[in-house]
Amino acid sequence: MNSNILEVRDLRVHYHTRQGAVRAVNGVSFDLHANERLGLVGESGSGKSTVALALMRLIKPPGKIEGGQVKLDGLSLLELSGEKMRQIRLAGIAMVSQGAMNSLNPVARVRRQIEDALRDHNAKLTKRERAEWIGELLERVGLPRTAAEMYPHELSGGMKQRVCIAIAICLQPKVIIADEPTSALDVVVQHQVMTTLESLRAELGASVILIGHDMGLMAQAVDRVGVMYAGDLIETGSVETLFKDPLHPYTRLLMASLPSLAQKEAAKGIPGLMPSLLNRPTGCPFHPRCPDAFDRCRVEEPTLQTVQPNRGVACHLYGNDSAGREAS
C-alpha cells in the first residue's frame, strides 16, 4: 500500500527575465507520507517557497512551472484545469504563509471571510451548520467564538494568523503547507501558533510541509527534513540523523553555523554567497563555497541518491557518486 499523500517528481520552475531564465526550482523530487511533518530548509533564495507556490499552482508570470509531476493522493495536480485546481486548494491542499494575515479583507468580519471560503468551495452546509462549523473552527485554532464578529484590525498578529489557519483548515485538507507561518510574530506567540498548528494537524490526520530557515523550530516541529540549495534538494533525512550526522558539506556548514546554546555563540554564517540562479556554476552549484570540492565537482552535477535507508544526498563524496575523488 502506498502511504504517500504527495509525490513530487522532477519539479522545475523558472522565472523568465530579460537576462534569461532564472532556474528557481531545478528538478526537485520528494515524497510526503500520510501524517508526516516534512521541513524544507535553506537560505533565502534556495527555492523552498517557490516549491510551496508550485505545489499550490500559484506561480505567477514571469514564473512558470516548466515540468515535473505533483500527485496529491494519486491526482496529478499539474494536469488539472484551473477551475478544478481552485477547488482542490483548501479542500485537498492548503497553505498558510508568512504574509497570509495581511491578505485578510480589512472590511469584512472574520465570519464572512471563513464563510466566503466555504461558499467558494460549495461546502454543502445549512446556514446553521455553517455558523456552528465556523465557531468550532475558531475554537480549534484557539480563538473565542466571538472572534467571528470581529474585523481584522481588532485582532493581534497572532490572532490574525490563527484566523488564516482556520480558513486553511475549513475544508479539512490532507496536506497543509506552512511557509514561515510565524516569522512575523514574537517568539512566545510563535510557539503558541506552532503548537496549535501541530494539534490541528494531528486531529485532522493531515500531513504538513513546514518551510523555514529556523533550524531550532524545525527540530521541534518536523519528522523529516529536506535541505535546499540553489533550487536543488541536496539532502533529506530524519530530523535526528540530519542534525546528528549531516552528510552534505552545505548541511554540515549549516549545522555548524547554528549558535550553540551552551557557548552562547552568535550564528557564524556560511562563507560565500549562493550562486546566481541565472548563471548557475557548472557542476555542483555548491562547489564555489565547498571546502571539500574536487575536480569532478566543477564539471558534473550530482543528483540526489539514497545513501542510507531513508537518507538522500546529492554530493559526489557519497554512494555511487563517490568515484573520482582520489584521482583528483
Our CB check for ligand SF4 shows the closer of 7 and 292 to be: 292
- Interaction of residue 317 with ligand SF4, rule CB under 6 A: yes
- Residue 8 or 293 with smaller CB distance to ligand SF4: 293
Question: In terms of CB distance, is 66 or 300 closer to ligand SF4?
Answer: 300
- CB of residue 276 vs ligand SF4: minimum separation in angstroms? 17
Provide the minimum distance between the beta carbon of 328 and ligand SF4 in the complex, in angstroms, as a whole number.
10
**Smaller CB distance to ligand SF4: residue 163 or 304?**
304
Distance CA 213, CA 258 (A): 11
Please say whether the beta carbons of 317 and 326 come within 8 A: no
Does 38 help bind ligand SF4 (rule: CB under 6 A)? no
Radius of gyration of the chain measured on its C-alpha atoms? 21
Q: Which residues contact 132 (CB under 8 A, 6 or more apart)?
A: none
Q: How far is CA 137 from CA 3, 13, 73, 128, in A?
A: 28, 35, 25, 14
Placement of cell 512558470 in the chain = 64
Using CB under 6 A as the binding rule, the residues of this chain from 266 to 295 that contact ligand SF4 are 284, 286-287, 290, 292-293
Q: Between residues 310 and 328, which has the closer beta carbon with respect to ligand SF4?
A: 328
Q: In whole angstroms, what is the distance from residue 59 CA to residue 126 CA? A: 35
Asked if residue 276 lies in contact with residue 301, where contact means CB atoms within 8 angstroms, the answer is: no
Binding string, residues 197-236; x marks residues near ligand SF4 by CB under 6 A? ----------------------------------------
Site for ligand SF4 (CB under 6 A): how many residues?
13
Q: In sequence order, what DSSP letters do the residues of 19-78 get, joined into one string?
A: TEEEEEEEEEEEEEETT-EEEEE-STTSSHHHHHHHHTT---TTEEEEEEEEEETTEEGG
The CB-of-300 to ligand SF4 minimum distance in angstroms stands at: 8
Q: Residue for cell digits 526550482?
A: 25
Cβ nearer to ligand SF4, comparing 167 with 297: 297
Interface ranges with ligand SF4 (CB under 6 A): 248-249, 284, 286-287, 290, 292-293, 297, 302, 315-317
